[in-house]
Structure 1
Amino acid sequence: MKTISKYLTVSVIGLALLSTISCKKALEEKPYSFYSPENFYKNESDAKAAINGVYAALYTWEMYLQPFWNMTILDDDHVSGADWYLGTTGAGNPQSYWGVDGPWVGCYTIISRANSVLENVVNITDIDPDVKKRILGEAYFLRGWAYFQLVQLYGGVPIHLKTISASNPETNVPRATVKGTYDVVISDFKSAEANLFPAGHAKAGEVGRVNQGVAKAFLAKTYLTIGSGAATGNVTVRGGTDNGYYTYAKTVVAGLEGIDSKAYFLLARDKAAELLVPGGPYALTPNWKDLWSIAGRNNKEQMWELQSLSGTSFINEIGNYFSARSTFGQGAVFTTNNHYKDYDETDTRVLDGITHNYTTLQGTNIFYPSWQSAKYKVVNGVTYNNTGSTTAERAYTIKYSVTEPTVVRSDAFVPLLRYAEVYLMYAEAENEVNGATTLAYNALNEVRLRAYLKTGTPATPVPEAYAPAGMTSEQFRSFVLAERAREFNLEGIRRFDLMRWGIYLQVMNKIGTGQNNISKLRANKNLLYPIPLGELNSNTALNRTNNPGW
């Protein structure tokens, strides 16, 4: 099946109009050419090239080549790694990371390119009307997605809904409020939903493009983010130095004060419910491990994956850092021992999802974890030896498989939205609206039952597969948050979950110094990332005022 990465490789000339590629260190922009909208946007091919240029911004040194996933995955309570790599963003020091400006620059690049598509494709007449509608929907979605990332990472940001031009020369735009920025996100996702086609539709486009279901899911996710950010109450989290259970009084996320959280939870629940349709285009992959194989790419659960293609520009570095075997000898990022212990022993997400036996690039056989040596020290006649040091205690994920494990940049696919999250969004929202109802339990258990071993004839889930019965609303809230951590480990969701529930500082500071001596201590300034100095210096409407503490 044709995927968007293959389509991009033959139409990357679409970047001719849409501007720029960024240099790794200096973020220097180099224009591809001097085409203008007037002499570029002529026909369907031009429109397709233009929207491909918006997607192409995801593959840059600002976004998924490294910086975006570095800054959204490494900074949470369940991540550890080599101190040479996690010593900046992973230790609460993003200003020391060379790519610190990446998400801001990358997201605004997406916004600028999407604006160009929206302003010009609408006027093209030499185009299939359905393709035209889809391309406009993709542009709305990608712009909304970029603002969704920005508001979560930086708070309220300047809103640009038109390209900078002679008729719109103003570049000095003040920051919108947090709520005002979310309003733009919601509006764009709604417009995307109205224009995009469902998955499987003949005009929905190649695999890897967003579709109507993806827009619905991100709309639900936006509502859920606002609802949880505005809510009050308690959340219990397993963690700290002793991996105990601690209950925290959540704080309301700045900018969401006074919002009716229950109203947004209701919106989130109802929008998620639109996707939970039996026989629809999406489904959980029956075998959890199959999600992460090369053959399992673009399955029905992976609603939106960042496509990659070895040997082209559409690659990234995440596999080299997260996989057990890498050009470093072994990977630099792994799951903490404490989080590993939060999985039941019959949970395939830890049985299969963690690499228990591997050989480093230097040929050393290592097993994990040392306390389960009876299971993993000798496997299929091969003996794996631990060094007795923290070097061996590395729980590597299988999620970022690549076809070329001995190169730095390869073709790992990055999950941007999975159907499992729709179930868990529904469970969370239904609980906040009506309590831990049967509907909430059913959605939660759909995800859990898939992940557990089955026994007997006919095969039935083991008892521990089912979520504990009789939970209160507060207990269910905490359980869903923990379930999301187990299901989406190292997928860039945990940090956002801690932030939107207003418990990030409490959870991180309860740990103090984490595994491998990685600091988890955080200050109030770590709630938002710093606005790039280049933006502060060039946008006079910001009055050189950065986020608190920066």
Structure 2
Amino acid sequence: MKKKYILWTALCSMFALASCESVLDKTDLGAADPDLVSGDSVLANLSLNYIYNQNLPDWGGYTTISGLGSSTYTEESYNQGSSQNKYLEGAIAENDVTDFGTALNATNNYGKIRTINSFISDLQQNPKMDAGAKNRLLAQAYFFRAWRYFELVKLYGGVPLVLTPQNAVGIENREATFLPRNTTSQCVKQISADLDSAAKYLPATWASPAANWGRITKGGALALKGRLLLYAASPQFNPTDVNTKWQASYDANKAAYDALTANGSKLIADYAKIWFTESGNTEAVFVTGYNISVGDQQRRNSGWEASNRPKYSTVSGGGSNLPSWDMVKAYPMKDGKKPGDSKYAYSDLLFFKDRDPRFEKTIAYNGCTWPMSNVPNNRLWTYYAAGKSVENGGVNFSFTGFYCKKALQTSDVAGSTLDQSNTIYSGTDWQEIRFAEVMLNYAESAAGVGKLDEAYTQLINIRKRAGIEAGSDNLYGLKANMSRAEMFKAILDERQVEFAFEGKRFWDLRRWRLLESTLNGSKGTKVQINLKTTGVPADFATSRDGMKLEDVYTNYFTIALTPNALMSRTAINYLPKYYFFAIPTSAIDNNPLLKQNDGWTNGAFNPLE
């Protein structure tokens, strides 16, 4: 897969040097001299690329130190282990969510913000640089400052807004850095202002798009503002359903949608191929680039491929993100209706039959065709025979009976070169925001202000791309004349399926204050498909690949549904106070002006203000 990773191509295209690596070897991008940065656009771009590398989210959208957002925190996968998970078990204490950061460290959130603030300050004081070039550099820095603060606010609510570099040397200077928390509404206002500044000066499309693949665009800034204001309007931050917050969200998300569509953004035709187009990908809005380099200097490989393949050996996969039965049941039928409400019959035994096409493109299950390792007709078998999994001889098999195959390369992906020996060098890019999210953010905001026709339009277009049948009413399985509450539920259900295993589900449930009602009291469900003990052909193990899958299940398998035995410690018990985590006690001890969130020990800060 060809790669255009921004740190390297931007440098090479700007600076005719014999070796990109030699410059990066010798230049401390985090501590470049301010005079050099402000006076030289090349070095300014180097410093900006350092900010990109510090702040771009990892595969799966992981941007929090605590690692929240993975499938194990929701019904996508549940906790696939017997060790304690404090979030799931209601055991989080004041010092467990440490993203706030207290140490003088360039890699924690406020350390990264300081780097961004220093970059902004140095450039603003520069009278030499061309105004257009300077504003484009500043705009990208404003975007990442907004990104960092948004990630903090969604965890804690309001945090101290630091917008200039602070000097903590000396007692007086150190005491001057003791800042109280700004209110959540003040933080949202500042983040919005930074994104407005970014959008004002960023291009809709960068010149030389291939060389600048991954750089933030005007549409990317507007899309992040839309996500921010959707959070601000959602019940986590807006429990009294204030209409003006929904209106602000609607205005921002419609603006993002309009700007992106005007510049050619649209859904990729094939849901399975979203991840395998780089420069020119019409669905990609906010992207983290990865490459297939094996060199020390340029290497930035994606871990997604290796972590999700079956765990048959150290080079083939980690068996992560194992879908639960609950996630399998979440998919509608191919007419867009829920199982039981569809014209298509549903049974647990034939769970795979007549489902939403996104099911086949996301979930690998017993007997499915999964062309791994460039074997086009490879079939996956995870059933049990005589009480033992037949998968890999009963060693390192799926504990739920399923695998996640979203964004994994196969022989049907043009240019796929991955086999069992080189999956660790995957270069598949992560799309933190893709156009489908912009559409659904717009739909949800439209529902919030009562524009249900606009919400219908976006939902229908998402389902049309998925391959769901239109139906006689052309509603693609959606209920006609939904109420506002019904539309909200339909959109949340659509997001669960559309963004499965993309790190969105936990945050959606959290912003809608649905963690307890959706998950508490459960351990999740696993499926075990068992080979019958009688009537099975003696050559079944060699003849099964040639049989029709429906017949195989009907004639030779039974299915058993049981609680997720691996999560043996306790049922899920999310607590209401987790909607705003505690500021770490160490941070409060370090800064006497900080107040703790309501609901935690000595809490006096209202994160809803």
Which category describes the TM-score, using the shorter chain as reference length?
0.7 to 0.9
Superposition deviation, residue 396 in structure 1: 1.2
The secondary structure found in structure 1 opposite 2:68 is: helix
Superposition deviation, residue 474 in structure 1: 1.3
Identity of aligned residues (%): 22
Q: 2:191 aligns with which of 175, 185, 202?
A: 185
The yes-or-no answer on 1:18 pairing with 2:1 is: no
Q: Distance between the aligned counterparts of 1:416 and 1:313, measured in 2?
A: 21
Q: How has the CA–CA distance of structure 1 residues 47 and 448 changed in structure 2, closer, same or farther, with 3 Å as cutoff?
A: same
Q: How has the CA–CA distance of structure 1 residues 146 and 7 changed in structure 2, closer, same or farther, with 3 Å as cutoff?
A: same
Which residue identity is paired with 2:465?
R
The root-mean-square deviation of aligned C-alpha atoms, in Å, is 4.2
Q: Distance between the aligned counterparts of 2:285 and 2:58, measured in 1?
A: 24
Provide the residue aligned with 2:300 in structure 1. 314
The secondary structure found in structure 1 opposite 2:281 is: coil
Deviations 1:483-509 (A, max 9, x none): 011111111211221122222222221
The yes-or-no answer on 1:48 pairing with 2:45 is: yes
Provide the residue aligned with 1:394 in structure 2. 402
Q: How has the CA–CA distance of structure 1 residues 348 and 324 changed in structure 2, closer, same or farther, with 3 Å as cutoff?
A: farther
Q: 1:218 aligns with which of 216, 220, 224?
A: 224
Deviates more, 1:347-356 or 1:415-424: 347-356
Higher RCO, Cα 8 Å, sep 6+: 2
Q: Distance between the aligned counterparts of 1:46 and 1:407, measured in 2?
A: 35
Provide the residue aligned with 1:283 in structure 2. 266
Instruction: Report 1:133-532 matches (<5 A).
Output: 133-165=135-167, 170-201=176-207, 206-229=212-235, 252-253=238-239, 260-275=244-259, 277=261, 280-293=263-276, 295=277, 299-310=281-292, 311=294, 312-315=298-301, 317-325=303-311, 327=314, 330-343=318-331, 344=333, 345-356=354-365, 367=380, 391=399, 393-399=401-407, 411-437=427-453, 439-452=454-467, 465-509=476-520, 511=522, 516=564, 517-518=566-567, 519-532=571-584
Superposition deviation, residue 92 in structure 1: 5.7
Does the 8 Å CA contact 1:137/1:192 hold for their aligned counterparts?
A: yes
* TM-score when normalising by structure 2: 0.69
Provide the residue aligned with 1:536 in structure 2. 588
Superposition deviation, residue 162 in structure 1: 0.6
Instruction: Report 1:10-159 matches (<5 A).
Output: 10=20, 12=24, 16=28, 18-19=30-31, 35-58=32-55, 68=65, 70-73=67-70, 74-80=72-78, 82-83=80-81, 87=85, 101=98, 106-159=108-161
Does the 8 Å CA contact 2:143/2:221 hold for their aligned counterparts?
A: yes
Superposition deviation, residue 468 in structure 1: 2.7
Deviations 1:5-51 (A, max 9, x none): 433784646972525xxxxxxxxxxxxxxx54245432101110111
Q: How has the CA–CA distance of structure 1 residues 273 and 469 changed in structure 2, closer, same or farther, with 3 Å as cutoff?
A: same
* TM-score when normalising by structure 1: 0.76
Deviates more, 1:163-172 or 1:484-493: 163-172
Q: Distance between the aligned counterparts of 1:71 and 1:292, measured in 2?
A: 23
Q: Distance between the aligned counterparts of 1:290 and 1:446, measured in 2?
A: 17
Q: How has the CA–CA distance of structure 1 residues 462 and 108 changed in structure 2, closer, same or farther, with 3 Å as cutoff?
A: farther
Q: How has the CA–CA distance of structure 1 residues 359 and 532 changed in structure 2, closer, same or farther, with 3 Å as cutoff?
A: farther
Which residue identity is paired with 1:206?
N
Deviations 1:123-147 (A, max 9, x none): 3355443332211110001100111
Q: Distance between the aligned counterparts of 1:163 and 1:368, measured in 2?
A: 57
Does the 8 Å CA contact 2:37/2:123 hold for their aligned counterparts?
A: no
Which residue identity is paired with 1:185?
I
Does the 8 Å CA contact 1:431/1:476 hold for their aligned counterparts?
A: yes
Which residue identity is paired with 2:364?
T
Superposition deviation, residue 265 in structure 1: 3.8
Deviations 1:194-244 (A, max 9, x none): 11111255699711111100011111112211112378xxxxxxxxxxxxx
The secondary structure found in structure 2 opposite 1:197 is: coil
**Which structure has greater helix proportion?**
1
Q: Distance between the aligned counterparts of 1:223 and 1:417, measured in 2?
A: 15
Which residue identity is paired with 1:37?
P
